[in-house]
Amino acid sequence: MSDGFGLDHLPYGVFVTEGSAPRVGVRYHDRVVDVATVRPELDHPTLNTFMALGPDAWARTRAQITELVGSEVLPAFPLDAVSLLLPFGVGDYVDFYASLDHATNVGRIFRPDQEPLLPNWRHLPVGYHGRSGSVVVSGTPVVRPCGQRKAPTEDSPTYGPSRRLDIEAELGFVVGVGSELGSRIPVGELSRHVFGVVGLNDWSARDIQAWEYVPLGPFLGKSFATSVSAWVTPLAALADASTDLPAQEPAPLPYLSGGHALDIAVEVVLNGEVVSRPPYRTMYWSPGQMLAHLTVNGASTRTGDLFASGTISGPEPDTRGSFLELSWGGKEPFAGGHTFLEDGDEVTLRYSAPGTGGGRITLGEVTGRIEPARP
């Protein structure tokens, strides 16, 4: 089978069957294999207890599970016979802004008469702290948020449902082993701390965001929902997806030197139609650089912390990872007249990457459907 869920992948998730308690499973083709008996830390309602064991235990357990799954000795269930839950308990959530093409596009949309990049952008991975309590598993409906918004043509702000609801196609990185307050994680130690990767959609209310974000940055325009895939791809499964970073000019400061990009292809699907194919390999800042910058001031990390890449966008119009860019600020409708999200729209983000078995693996997809604002 070539569905991207073979023995070279085996992503982890948390599932329940009728009348059972949540426990950890791995996806093997179109089935969920129950691995709760492999070690006690997998007989838990989240991956956190297992992730905290560290990379040596991850490697040994992955090898053992691969052998057991290949031998078909563990219980397995059809995908449609299980319910998938949020796979890890989310600690802190940080979202970065690591795509040169996305940052440049946004700058050109909002500051057409100025330099698109602000002076700090090429020197550090820009980010903001999000709200971990609104991170939800793929398939969870997204309720249109309400808040203050003020268009440039309006004299004063009004309150109501967002008129410019958007997506951001991203990757999320899940911390397995944390770090102490006052310590730092070097760029080269990403694999000692990050357990795996999830697909991520950072839903964004652009009108609320535009009115609130000066001078302190995103707040209510970002905190209402962030969707992640139900499957966590182990970092080890992406070993053959490692690739060189684009040229970084000027050279980063020493604490940010090094790091590798990931060759992961993304598809943005709106109501069943592929509208964009952003390439993660073009991202300017690497996952290792993001984690190093996150901790350079001594900030601690914990098991279950999540940090995201920011919108993945490429250099061509059909590789943009947000509706803001695809519609060029709402001025250029696409996909049959869309500019921003309408009630009832369904967006799915799909991901694939080179696998260690010579083919491609399929990362967990992320789906959300927009529901009307609530009174």
CA atoms within 13 A on the CB side of 220: 15
Catalytic residue among 9, 44, 102, 293: 102
Measured CA angle at 26 (ends 25, 28), to 5 deg:
135
Q: Which of 96, 8, 52, 38 is nearest to 287 (CA)?
A: 96
Element (H, E) at 51: helix 48-51
| Angle, CA of 297, 299 and 302, to the nearest 5° | 155
What is the Cα–Cα distance from 353 to 234, expressed in whole angstroms?
13
Q: What's the one-letter identity of residue 344? A: G
Instruction: Confirm whether 102 is a catalytic residue.
Output: yes
Please report, for residues 62, 194, 237, 351, 360, the alpha-carbon distance to residue 233 in angstroms, rounded to integers and kept in the order given: 11, 11, 7, 11, 13
The answer to whether 314 and 278 are in contact (CB under 8 A) is yes
* Residue 208 token pair: 């609320």
Q: Which residues are tagged catalytic?
A: 102
